[in-house]
Amino acid sequence: METLQNLALGFSQALTPDALLYCFIGVTIGTVVGVLPGIGALTTISLCLPLTFHLDPLLGLIMLAGIFYGAQYGSSTASILLNVPGSAPAAVTCLDGYPMTRQGRAGIALFVTTIASFIGGCFAIVLLIFFAPLLAQVAIGFSAADYFAIMLLALTAASTLGAGAPLKGLCMMVVGLILGLVGTDLNSGQFRFTFGIPALADGISLVALAMGLFGVAEILANVTSGQLPVLENARVTLRSMIPSREDMKRFWGSCGRGSVLGSFVGMLPGTGPTIAAFMSYAFEKKISKTPEQFGNGAIEGVTSPESANNAAVQAAFIPTLTLGVPGDAIMAVMIGGLLVHGITPGPQLITENGALFWGVVASFWVGNILLLILNLPFIGLWVKLLSIPYKALFPAVLLLICIGVYSVNNSAVDVVLTFVFGLAGFCLNRHGYPSAPLLLGFVLGPLIEENFRRAVLLSGGSLAPFIERPISATFLMLTALILALAGWHRLRKVPVKPVE
């Protein structure tokens, strides 16, 4: 009952004309930067943060949060239409979203993406409203050993991402793990593989890697293939957006699983939407009766990562608002914004600044509904983008990628790296080496290493915590099970034929 009263208080804050306006501005900016390749939520929020210093803190936070989750809605658009992800999490959406476009199902892909995003977001908001303090306590209970076990499971489960030969995927994952080593070693402070370039001391930029491997490589592939892709069916009628009954049947289940998994990953500090999207995709493929469809336009391959990444960004607010422990860099920037106003996120935020807390939470609903209204009519417009001749479109996309990558760290080195990765990705893809496992290895590698070393440091050199802690032990057992199953299948059957 009390929660409902609080929620009413929240809506009274979130439905004022000012709050609606800033929410609308936030989600609109978010959608736009999401669609644009390279320019992500972090850059935009950093850019907009100083503007909010002159606003009421509630309005400022509503706007910044709107940009954050709005960007997740938009970022899949370019993945689906052009195979160029709008942000790193959306790289997963490329795997099946782009094949759907090539099959003339772009409208359906965009439609289900929007609905899946909405469901994922709403699910996490419900968790935030009813269970936030409890969940936050659970989330910070995860120790270094537990993180290690979870990430190891994610890496193992996802080793067969996308279409293609499993061995080649595994190779690419190892390359990703190696690239993740670049930068300053967290334990000794030594520079590893930086080759004397100061810009590499903080590691390789995730945005540069994702944009290079997916965006630039895709453009190179199209340009060098001799025949530029001509995408038919540029006309989108309302009917072409409506998924078939069969589509919907596969939609709901994958969406629900994506939302749950995404919320779980999102509320763990230090993870984020990219890992959420990868994990749910891998999970969906593992349990699917038709895993061979993944990578060839499976609708679950679009809906599960999309619901997961939206659930993850929304769930990231759970530890941020209730404990003052931001889940990722974006949340940290928002906390900085609150500090400027003299407001400290933490356990006392709900009691001392109840109107602010519940106002922001209520604005999440408002924002998600606005996004739904904003995105559905735009689908037709986005698909029309495909009717632009490729030779006019790709220079524009390349330019946007450059601006986006540069804007993250204001670093020219990152732009050069993007093109190096683009070229490498293009060559590797040509020989059937998929890019997605590399990206996953890159994201998970540092987390696995860091948490393993930390767990051992904390235990004074003993490996016991990995099997003594119930969470860690469970996840390690699951990992072993997956490996054993894979080995067993291999012994029984002829190796899976690589799909070109």
Which residues are near other proteins by CB under 8 A?
Answer: 29, 32-33, 35-36, 39, 46-51, 53-54, 140-141, 143-144, 184-189, 196, 198-199, 201-202, 269-270, 323-326, 329, 332-337, 339-340, 342, 344-349, 400, 409-411, 450, 454, 457-458, 460
Q: Which is nearer to other proteins, 108 or 331 (CB)?
A: 331
Radius of gyration in angstroms for the set of CA atoms belonging to the chain, rounded to a whole number: 22
Q: Which is nearer to other proteins, 134 or 457 (CB)?
A: 457
- List, in sequence order, every residue forming a beta bridge with 438; answer none if it has no partner: none
Stated length of the chain: 500
> To the nearest whole angstrom, how small is the minimum distance from the Cβ of residue 29 to other proteins?
6
Integer CA distances (angstroms), 115 to 47, 84, 209, 376, in order: 29, 21, 29, 9
Q: Which is nearer to other proteins, 342 or 377 (CB)?
A: 342
Q: Which is nearer to other proteins, 29 or 241 (CB)?
A: 29
User: Which phi and psi angles does 296 have, rounded to 5°?
Assistant: -125, 25
Residue 164 zone, left/alpha/beta (φ > 0; ψ -120 to 50; rest): left
3-state helix, strand, coil in the chain (%, to 5): 75, 0, 25
Q: Which is nearer to other proteins, 38 or 99 (CB)?
A: 38
> To the nearest whole angstrom, how small is the minimum distance from the Cβ of residue 185 to other proteins?
8
> To the nearest whole angstrom, how small is the minimum distance from the Cβ of residue 189 to other proteins?
3
Sign for the CA dihedral angle at 142, 145, 149, 151 comes to positive
- Whether 276 and 265 have beta carbons less than 8 Å apart is answered as yes
Task: Tell me how crowded residue 60 is: count the other CB atoms within 10 A of its CB.
Answer: 23
- The two structure tokens encoding residue 212: 């290079």
Q: Which is nearer to other proteins, 143 or 304 (CB)?
A: 143
Q: Which is nearer to other proteins, 189 or 470 (CB)?
A: 189
> To the nearest whole angstrom, how small is the minimum distance from the Cβ of residue 326 to other proteins?
5
User: Which phi and psi angles does 183 have, rounded to 5°?
Assistant: 125, -165
Q: Which is nearer to other proteins, 54 or 289 (CB)?
A: 54
> To the nearest whole angstrom, how small is the minimum distance from the Cβ of residue 32 to other proteins?
5
Q: Which is nearer to other proteins, 33 or 302 (CB)?
A: 33
> To the nearest whole angstrom, how small is the minimum distance from the Cβ of residue 330 to other proteins?
10
> To the nearest whole angstrom, how small is the minimum distance from the Cβ of residue 493 to other proteins?
43
> To the nearest whole angstrom, how small is the minimum distance from the Cβ of residue 107 to other proteins?
22
Q: How far apart (Å, rounded) are the C-alpha atoms in residues 106 and 133? A: 40
> To the nearest whole angstrom, how small is the minimum distance from the Cβ of residue 331 to other proteins?
8
Q: Which is nearer to other proteins, 403 or 423 (CB)?
A: 403
Task: Tell me how crowded residue 17 is: count the other CB atoms within 10 A of its CB.
Answer: 7
- Whether 37 and 78 have beta carbons less than 8 Å apart is answered as yes
Q: Which is nearer to other proteins, 49 or 486 (CB)?
A: 49
Burial of 299 (0-12, 13-18, 19+ CB in 10 A): buried
> To the nearest whole angstrom, how small is the minimum distance from the Cβ of residue 202 to other proteins?
5
262 Cβ partners below 8 Å, 6+ apart? 120, 124, 273, 276, 277, 280, 307, 308, 309, 310, 311, 312, 315
- Tell me the three-class secondary structure of 38-71, residue by residue: CCCHHHHHHHHHHHHCCCCHHHHHHHHHHHHHHH
> To the nearest whole angstrom, how small is the minimum distance from the Cβ of residue 129 to other proteins?
21
Q: How far apart (Å, rounded) are the C-alpha atoms in residues 221 and 147? A: 37
Task: Tell me how crowded residue 111 is: count the other CB atoms within 10 A of its CB.
Answer: 22
Q: How far apart (Å, rounded) are the C-alpha atoms in residues 117 and 246? A: 20
Q: Which is nearer to other proteins, 76 or 293 (CB)?
A: 76
> To the nearest whole angstrom, how small is the minimum distance from the Cβ of residue 323 to other proteins?
8
E strands, 179-296, where?
183-184, 191-192
Q: How far apart (Å, rounded) are the C-alpha atoms in residues 142 and 472? A: 9
Task: Give one DSSP letter per residue of 161-191, joined into a string.
Answer: -SSS-HHHHHHHHHHHHHHTT-EE-TTT--E
